[in-house]
Chain A
């Protein structure tokens, strides 16, 4: 299951990482190196394993359905790089006619 340059470009796209073409070969080598060590797992017989680890063996607890706001000490206008009236500001989506222009 060797990783190819095409695979690296594909997963970089999925992960929204704009890695330069010049870096692709290096990541191919590194990922194949790491996965080469990981392939040892294929030798382990896991046919009898039932269920994953639940460290606390407690399942997912639920809490009371009541509003319990966490105290916030920074006004929401200052949370993000660009905000207007409490909304996050992003470029227009590509589905809009004037895509690419800042809204």
Chain B
């Protein structure tokens, strides 16, 4: 195992930089060398689209992330690099302002190493729907890193940065974390400011961190959390310590929802989940089978609500105010030519679907119905947590990473989010952490917790990570 400081976690890097044992520039140089080495030739990871090829002149030399390299998904606004959302329609576009999460990272001492590849406007589960080509999984370059935040996941898994930010609408950080063998955390809706996150589906979107370890992810979430008056959906609650560390799980009740372990589940994924549950039990946790009866409806609900909201949010990209512009005869032709040229197939499909679901005569049958069933899905979680369950454990994804190009049917691709999308619909926190490998490919285990109970979720995650040790990567 490498002993380079870059592989020892964000907290170790920050300590070394703060104490003057190394500099942010030296750490950045190693990260940049790794980026260059992994982004060459036909098997390039293609994880970082827009690299910061030099360290900032005067980074913050003290702070919880002093000198720590971080990468941000290409839909999070930064002042120094493009924010193109993996789309042609925003090719080369640089935001005139900075996102709150980037400001918080910068003020904590973090150093931006690049903006990462993504499915266009975060619509996808493989990062194949990027206008700038697919990213590759660092553990097997013939396979997808997951998505839509696959570039951020691959960047962390490749050791270029210990922390990266992605965004979640239906599992876009937890699923790539599972595919890449790292940790991904979806915070409670409202825990982290979305100011500067390009909107896809506003009732679902969250900024969400990746880390190589549970501690890296906890540290990142601590830094970016907190109320922000610039985001009306940001919640004004105190930010607790997420870095609770490993310890006994005595008194903790972990629910295992039977709907997340269907007969069709990959047997190897099931076996790793069983082993993880045994490890949790050995740490003192009580395991209890529970039911979330409306789980099967989550994907249909999601694929009405998310396209409906995206059709409204993406109306702003019309060739007038941002990025690409294709001229036409009159304003309408300008809009239509710009949008059909600038958007890729998946984005176009979802805008059409969402516009249809919201159009006259169909609103009640689709959107209204989906919102009502969403309420029932959220109520399932409320009922289980009210019954004395502190957290839930499930697989993160039904399978390990699939091969690039293996899934062409849109709905089949949507089903890879089947275990993650419920947390977005209910607004609760969730995370994925590695629990084993199948033929060298990582398998992720998912933890879910009540609203704003991230410390409980991290308590279980730290304990599980320590209990599994290197077994989590075998």
Residues of A whose CB lies within 8 Å of any CB of B are 1, 3, 7-8, 10-12, 14-20, 27, 30-31, 33-35, 37-42, 44, 46, 49, 51-53, 55-58, 60-61, 63-64, 68, 70-74, 76, 79-82, 88, 90-94, 99-100, 102
Contact = CB atoms under 8 A, between A and B. Distances in A.
A27 B97 contact: no
Nearest to B333: A18
A18 B352 CA distance: 11
A24 B352 CA distance: 11
A4 to B, nearest CB: 11
A1 B181 CA distance: 42
Given A17-B352, A72-B97, A82 B325 contact: yes
A38 to B, nearest CB: 4
A71 B96 CA distance: 8
Interface SS of chain A? loop
A44 B294 contact: yes
Contact of A41 (B319, B352, B369): B369
B330 A91 contact: yes
Contacts of A64: 229
Q: How large is the interface on B (under 10, 10 to 19, 20 to 34, 35 or more residues)?
A: 35 or more
16 contacts: A11-B352, A11-B359, A15-B315, A17-B352, A30-B410, A37-B411, A40-B297, A41-B300, A41-B301, A42-B365, A44-B369, A44-B376, A53-B378, A61-B236, A91-B331, A102-B327
B363 interface: no
Contacts of B353: 31, 34-35
Central interface residue in B321, B352, B409, by most chain A CB within 10 Å: B352
B349 A30 contact: yes
B373 A44 contact: yes
B97 A70 contact: yes
Contacts of B315: 15-16
Interface string B277-320: 00000000000000000101101110110000001000100111
Contacts of B188: 55-56
A90 B351 contact: no
Contacts of B320: 80-81, 88, 90
Contact of A63 (B97, B229, B299, B373): B229
B235 A58 contact: yes
B355 A14 contact: yes
B97 A71 contact: yes
What are the 4 closest A-B residue pairs judged by CB atoms, nearest first? A55-B427, A18-B336, A81-B325, A46-B372
A46 B359 CA distance: 21
Contacts of A7: 356
B229 A27 contact: no
B228 to A, nearest CB: 10
Given A46-B372, A88-B320, 7 more contacts: A15-B311, A15-B315, A18-B336, A56-B427, A81-B324, A81-B325, A90-B331
A33 B411 contact: yes
Given A41-B369, A91-B330, A49 B376 contact: yes
Nearest to A89: B320
Contact of A79 (B96, B319, B375, B414): B96
A42 to B, nearest CB: 7
B348 interface: yes
B321 A18 contact: no
A88 B352 contact: no
Nearest to B424: A55
Contacts of A91: 327-331, 334
Contacts of A81: 319-320, 323-325
Interface stretch (B39-47, B141-149, B170-178, B337-345): B337-345
B393 interface: no
Nearest to A60: B232
A46 B367 CA distance: 13
Given A37-B300, A49-B376, A53-B374, A17 B79 contact: no
B467 interface: no
A34 B415 CA distance: 11
B235 A56 contact: yes
A17 B374 contact: no
A63 B193 CA distance: 15
B332 A16 contact: yes
Contacts of B340: 17-20
B425 A94 contact: no
Nearest to B425: A53
